Amino acid sequence: MDILQQIVADKYREVAFKKQLIPVSQLEQSVLFQRETFSLVKNLKNSTTGIIAEHKRRSPSKHMINDSLNVFDVAKGYEKAGVCGMSVLTDAKYFGGSLDDLLLARASCNLPLLRKEFIIDSYQIIEAKAYGADVILLIAAILTQAEIKTFSELAQSLNLEVLLEVHNEEELQKSIMPSLDLLGVNNRNLKTFEVSLETSMTLSFLIPNEFIKVSESGISSTGAIQVLKPYGFKGFLIGENFMRSENPGDSAAHFIKALAE
Ligand SMILES: O=C(O)c1ccccc1NCC(=O)[C@H](O)[C@H](O)COP(=O)(O)O
């Protein structure tokens, strides 16, 4: 079993258990479930820098990144830095995240929040809305075409935007459908952890123009963004590069200032 298969197997067990603990009807009663969401698409369209900054404590590829920060301050710092949106990892076992992280980020800032999760069940989409997310991630590598359609249409009906993530042409071809808002190319192979910006460049030509293109992972310099922009990317998802610093907000602010110069 590769790491992605392991994560997904654990996720099925986790979600089955949670469904018994907290029924959907209870999630739908959350005050946050009724709120108006923020648009990441709108922010990216109006931005010249396009940074989506991530809260990421650890990962299967890098193990520990930064365990000494609190998500409330990180979210405030990212908002002050002028990022377009924030990604919050909510997986506990492999990334050290939680739904409480999402809730705290929501309490701390008015940025569009992406729930970064391995979504395999509609329940997690309802949960995302109930805990303050504006955008959900769907990973083509772990979903069938029918699941992508069902999950993205559910998200749309809840006014959540959908970022569909692909890593190769086959995943892209099976996924393109009108219920998606953003198409993300993950530069990291989630099975081997190899990272290459070439993945974004190659797939960019195959992504229809109606979708906002986002390049994800392994972006560690403003130079990388200058390289990717001509390929039509409007969004750049950055985790480790900011989270490695003592103050991710300051790190994002310096990055954005350097990009704008
Ligand atoms: O980051 C990992 O090691 C990883 C492993 C397996 C599945 C997903 C993984 N990462 C999720 C992400 O997509 C990244 O956190 C995100 O794109 C930011 O990447 P980076 O800037 O390289 O931290």
Residue type at 38?
Answer: F
133-159 pLDDT, tens digit each = 999 999 999 999 999 999 999 999 999
Mean pLDDT of 253-259: 97
Is the distance from the beta carbon of residue 237 to the nearest atom of ligand 1 less than 6 Å?
Answer: yes
Question: Distance between CA 261 and CA 253 in Å, rounded?
Answer: 12
Domain residue ranges in the chain? 3-260
Would you state the pLDDT for residue 63? 84
* Overall average pLDDT of the 241-247 stretch: 97
Clarify whether 169 is annotated catalytic. Answer: no
Distance 195 CA to ligand 1 centre (A): 10
Burial of 184: CB neighbours in 10 Å, binned 0-12, 13-18, 19+: buried
Domain 3-260 has CATH 2.30.30.90: no
Say how far residue 249 (Cα) sits from the centre of its chain: 18
pLDDT score, position 91: 98
Is 218's C-beta closer than 6 angstroms to any atom of ligand 1? yes
Cα gap 200→198, rounded to integer Å: 5
**How confident is the model over 59-86, as pLDDT tens digits?**
998 889 999 999 999 999 999 999 999 9
Cα→Cα distances 121→18, 67, 179, 212, Å = 11, 29, 17, 25
Residues found in the chain: 261
Q: What is the C-alpha to C-alpha distance for residues 233 and 184, in angstroms, rounded to an integer? A: 9
The interface predicted TM-score of the complex, written ipTM, equals 0.98
Ligand 1, closest atom to CA 165? 13
- Does the Cβ of 60 fall within 6 Å of ligand 1? yes
Cβ-contact 103, 77 below 8 angstroms: no
Q: pLDDT at residue 191 above 90? A: no
Q: Quick one: pLDDT at residue 246?
A: 96
- Has 194 been annotated as catalytic? no
Query: What's the rounded mean pLDDT across residues 112-125?
Result: 98
Atom nearest to 240 CA in ligand 1: 23
Q: Is pLDDT of 210 > 90?
A: yes
Expressed in angstroms and rounded, the spacing between residue 178 Cα and the centre of ligand 1 is 26
Best residue among 95, 188, 196, 233 to mutate for probing ligand 1, ranked by most atoms within 8 Å of CB: 188
Does the beta carbon of 249 lie inside 6 Å of ligand 1?
A: no
User: Strand pairing of 58-59 and 63-64?
Assistant: antiparallel
Tell me the percentage of the chain whose pLDDT exceeds 90.
97
Phi, psi of 179 (to 5 degrees): -80, 10
pTM for the model stands at: 0.97
Q: Are 61 and 135 in contact (CB under 8 A)?
A: no
Ligand 1 atom having least distance to the Cα of 195:
22
**Marked catalytic residue, from 186, 187, 241, 251:** 186
Catalytic-role residue among 116, 129, 213, 234: 116
243 CB less than 6 Å from ligand 1? no
Chain position carrying tokens 């990216």: 44
